[in-house]
Amino acid sequence: MNTQAAIVLRQLHVGLIGAGIGRSLTPAMHTREGEHCGLSYRYDLIDLDVRNLTVSDLPTLVDEAEAQGFAGLNITHPCKQAAVPLVDELSPDAETLKSINTIVFQGKHRIGHNTDWWGFAESFRRGLAGVSLGRVVQLGAGGAGVAVAHAVAQMGAHSVEIFDLDQVRAEALVDQLQPAHGACRFSVGRDLAGALNVADGLVHATPTGMAAHPGLPLDAQLLSDRLWVAEIVYFPIETELVKRARQTGCRVLDGGGMAVFQAVKAFELFTGMRPNAERMMQHFGSLRAKPA
């Protein structure tokens, strides 16, 4: 008698904690790749705004996820720094950044990781291969700014000059990262035009250019075709900066790659499996093409 064995898929349950995350593409990227890898992959959105919660509720939410058997959590704004004390161990990069976007539950042991910096670095290596990293100018010293400045230094930059409307925040970034990067000189920028005159490239790490914050983060006349330009904003994928930089003749990296590759690394941490990055990139592109 012929019998058909039932296929039991490995079940995995993860989630994302943050505020205003209803439009996040991360759950769809994870679940689709999970299907391709033969997993029964569930990804929940835990939106503070929807639940009328605040960052102060984060410890309870992490405890609940662990108790419910989650494999891990992604963490986003405004919880990345607040989540650090809630884990038992930090990866070396998370220790440097004092910010985590991924928690992996291993039994009763919690490990905090930061995949944002790696996502930016991997996207940069693919999209701007071969560019000089001698002198880099960066706009933005917030949480994302710290991650991408760390990535730029990890990739071999000789100097990174940080510009931010909040001088104290720029100084804090320099003080935080300089001890971890002896081969790279971090400094607080004061003359943007002068810095760009001698720079090899520009990294943009502020919210300017997002749908809710349209516009340019600098005077477009400061752009030159000898600069490369790396953007981290991906809603929309063609920000005004990306558009103007391309028109100027710059080599340009949009923010989509960072969004995908931070998810690639988080998926690997959650599952122990290496996902297909190109497939995830294609899926991300198809998700972006869908009407809101």
Query: Catalytic annotation on 265?
Result: no
Phi first, then psi: give them for residue 18, nearest 5 degrees: 180, -175
Task: Please give the distance of CA 273 from its chain centroid, rounded to a whole number.
Answer: 20
Nearest-10 Cα torsion for 199, 203, 205, 210? 120
d(CA 243, CA 130): 22
Among 80, 98, 243, 265, which one carries the catalytic annotation? 80
Token pair 């510009």 in the structure block, residue: 163
Catalytic sites, residue numbers: 80
